[in-house]
Amino acid sequence: MDFRKIAELIPCSLGLVSNVKKLKDEGQDLGRKPCSGGHNKKRTAEFLADLSDTIAASPTTSMRKQAKNLGVSKDTIRNAVQDLGLVSYVRRRRQLLSDASKETRVIKGKKLLTWMKHNGSTSPDCNPLDYGIWGVVERKACSIPHASVDALKAAVEKEWAEMS
């Protein structure tokens, strides 16, 4: 039978038909390869229990090393760890604190607290009332010129009372 007729009869490519004919002529098996398919899963309940015990015994061992020790693929270990609901350890970069750097941090913290004690109320970051609300009160109270300081103080107090 011609390749084209077979490809039309079974909707598939000519290359597939050619490969199947070639394998059949050489006498090779056309069945599934060993260990293929979902019927040969390594992630059984016993395997997951063994893996869980192994991870509990040495949690810092890499997945690659676990796979090598258990004789399975890295993908199998990754999927099994996911089945167990565990999360892979990822090393994070951080600053290592030596004794000297800890002392430096304490000194800088004390300096900051001292500065805040003396200058905190004048800093715009620490006291937004002085800079935010005072602008509104000043704009309303100084909209008209005042004859004396007492008149200005009275106008500021009046505007402050109206805002409250």
Predicted TM-score (pTM) of this structure: 0.36
Q: Is 48 within a domain?
A: yes
Which pLDDT score is estimated for 120?
Answer: 64
Checking if the pLDDT of 102 tops 90, the result is yes
Checking if the pLDDT of 58 tops 80, the result is yes
Q: Is 107 within a domain?
A: no
What's the CA dihedral at 97, 99, 100, 103 to 10 degrees? Answer: 100
Q: Is 101 within a domain?
A: no
CA distance to 21, 24, 31, 67, per residue, from 3 (Å):
9, 14, 21, 45
Tell me what the pLDDT averaged over the chain comes to: 84
Q: Is 111 within a domain?
A: no
Q: Which amino acid is at 49?
A: A
Which pLDDT score is estimated for 57?
Answer: 92
Checking if the pLDDT of 95 tops 90, the result is no
Q: How confident is the model at residue 49 (pLDDT cuts 50, 70, 90)?
A: very high
Which pLDDT score is estimated for 110?
Answer: 96
134 and 156 both lie in a single domain: yes
pLDDT digits (tens, 9 = 90+) for 75-93: 999 999 998 998 877 778 8
127 and 163 both lie in a single domain: yes
Q: How confident is the model at residue 126 (pLDDT cuts 50, 70, 90)?
A: low
Task: Check residues 88 and 109 and name the one with the higher pLDDT.
Answer: 109
Q: Is 4 within a domain?
A: yes
3-state secondary structure of 61: coil
Q: Token pair of 61, please?
A: 């061992």
Cα 156 to Cα 164: distance, rounded to the nearest angstrom:
12
Which pLDDT score is estimated for 136?
Answer: 84
| Segments forming the whole domain that contains residue 50 | 41-83
CA distance to 41, 63, 122, per residue, from 34 (Å):
12, 25, 79
pLDDT, average across residues 39-56: 85
> How many structural domains are present in the chain?
3
Element (H, E) at 157: helix 149-163
Task: Check residues 29 and 86 and name the one with the higher pLDDT.
Answer: 86
In eight-state DSSP terms, residue 164 is -
63, 77 contact by CB (below 8 A):
yes
pLDDT digits (tens, 9 = 90+) for 131-151: 678 888 888 888 889 899 999
Q: Token pair of 121, please?
A: 């109320």
Q: Is 9 within a domain?
A: yes
Q: Is 75 within a domain?
A: yes
